[in-house]
Structure 1
Amino acid sequence: MTSSPPKTETYEVTLSRDEQWVVHYVLANRLDEALDADEAPPEWTVEVLETVEADGDTERLTDRQADRLYDALATYVDREETPDRDVDPGATVLGRLEDVREV
């Protein structure tokens, strides 16, 4: 008898248009960096980018995707050269990712 694979937990994260833009920008840069280095982009990046581009305001992210997005956004928000207009929306997304993971 085979058992079903464990169900992947997902988290719903609601993003405003500005927050979606910041997430999209960070992920698109990750993809560009990989392609410029003649590497395959990380699968999670492509998956989350497709989710954000699906034209909804609620994103469903897996545990792994939420962790990696958090790390990528935290790095972006903490950079000195990040435009001020991106810092607040990026920080808000970080807070939302923390909130949904604590539930």
Structure 2
Amino acid sequence: MSSSPQTETYEVTLTRDEQWVAHHVLSNRFDEALDDDETPPEWVLESLEAIEADAETRLTGSQADRLYTALTAYVDRDDAPDGDVVHGSAALETLEGVREA
């Protein structure tokens, strides 16, 4: 039996700047949950660990989908810094490839 696309892991190659923007978005999601006295979603914790790992970033299809959604919301904000929009958009292109796999 094969893994479903949502649980299968994929190597996601992000530049250092793209990783920083993804980490920023995930950290904010983590902090917002704590501020609301909630437990941060497991996918946020797992995605942060994957991005912080010394090796390549490996995300499940579900994590990649959720990160894609969170990054899209961030880069579409009027107050997102221009540099973050550039690097976040590049990360979205990479994640789009995973979502299509």
Same-fold call, TM cutoff 0.5: yes
Q: How does 1:30-45 map to 2 (within 5 A)?
A: 30-45=29-44
Map Cα deviations across residues 55-79 of structure 1 (whole Å, 9 max, x no partner). 33x3111011011000000000000
Are 2:59 and 1:61 equivalent residues in the alignment? yes
User: What SS class does the counterpart of residue 80 from structure 1 fall into?
Assistant: coil
What's 1:25 paired with? 24
Size of the aligned set, in residue pairs, is 98
- Please name the residue that 1:96 is paired with: 94
Which amino acid is the alignment partner of residue 28 of structure 2?
A: N
Asked whether the equivalents of residues 10 and 60 of structure 2 are also in contact (C-alpha less than 8 Å), the reply is: yes
Task: Name the aligned partner's letter for residue 27 of structure 2.
Answer: A
Scaled by the length of structure 2, the TM-score of the pair is 0.90
Q: Which runs of 5+ in 2 are unaligned?
A: none
Rg (Cα) greater in structure: 1
Equivalent in the alignment of 1:76: 74
Contact map agreement 1:9 1:62 (CA 8 A) in 2:
yes
Q: Which runs of 5+ in 1 are unaligned?
A: none
| Percent identical residues | 63
Once the two structures are TM-superposed, the CA of residue 48 in structure 1 deviates from its matched residue by: 0.2
- One-letter amino acid of the counterpart of residue 71, structure 2: L
Classify the secondary structure of the residue corresponding to 1:19: helix
One-letter amino acid matched to 1:93: A
Superposition RMSD on alpha carbons, in Å?
Answer: 1.3
SS at match of 2:70: helix
- Alpha carbons 1:11, 1:101 under 8 Å: kept: no
